[in-house]
Amino acid sequence: MTVQPHLVERAGVTVVLGDAPAPPDELLAGLPGEPGFRPVVVAVHPGPSAEELARLLHGRVDGTRLILSYAAVNGIARTLADRLRVPVVAPTGAALMLPERLFVQHGEWVRFRPGAEPVGEGARFPAPRWQAALRHGPALTPIPAGLWLGPSGEAVPGDVLTLPVLDERVTVVVGPVPPPEARAALRTLPWPLRHEMLLEPYGTDPGTVKDIGRRITEGFLPTRTVTRPVPGAAPVAGPAADKALWRPAGAWRRTPS
């Protein structure tokens, strides 16, 4: 029997529940707060329509961060903002919940206000101090901690997605790519970031990565480009992964409703 979407309060967070599993309470309790906004986590498969969400949330929020993948590009967030007459922040890509952090894969958070143009706010919330300066391209894939530099066409490993985010410096995880390609990609980053970044080898020789760091900083302040191996070698899976990362059940692109 199909379970109709309904609201529950768990760990101080509003969760829209249905047939899909809800995120663990540990992640819900650690969601970052923001004045005037209430996080709403959607754990429904398939994802609810804008009309269903508007009915469920009517009169319950003064502003919300909607944790529902692609809600900023399929009309749901815009419809909610206009119908509820409240600001709504939603992701343009696949949303990930991590301990004390929210991240959008292949996209960013966008703020909608009734009758106003949407405003992009970056992929990470809360935003680390380096987020605005970060650049990425074909060889550099955004991850919560910073950037993944890996073989072309390969997915980002699960344990790379769960690395801790450092507010004071960007982390670049270097996978098994030829050193000349790695150096060329890293030289596209702004100069201040190159001097402050943390390079983490993943499936590649730490000595090689250290040499890459020395070369891209041109010998200046080499100790500030630190190398550290990623702990663990297997993608995150099983019960431990459930507490480290959660993807909303609606992690697909829906057409506007």
Q: pLDDT tens across 133-146, in order? A: 998 777 899 999 99
**Continuous segment of H or E residues that includes residue 64:** strand 64-67
Q: Averaged over 185-213, what is the pLDDT?
A: 87
d(CA 86, CA 234): 43
Q: What predicted TM-score, i.e. pTM, was given to this entire model?
A: 0.85
The answer to whether residue 154 scores a pLDDT higher than 50 is yes
What lies within 8 Å, CB to CB, of 55 at 6+ separation is none
Q: What is the pLDDT of residue 231?
A: 52
In which region does residue 176 sit, left (phi positive, over 0), alpha (psi from -120 to 50) or beta (all else)?
beta
Q: Averaged over 82-90, what is the pLDDT?
A: 96
Q: How many CB atoms lie within 10 A of CB 236?
A: 17
Predicted confidence band at 1 (pLDDT cuts at 50, 70, 90)?
low
Cα 57 to chain center, whole Å? 24
Q: pLDDT tens across 230-252, in order? A: 554 333 222 333 345 676 654 33
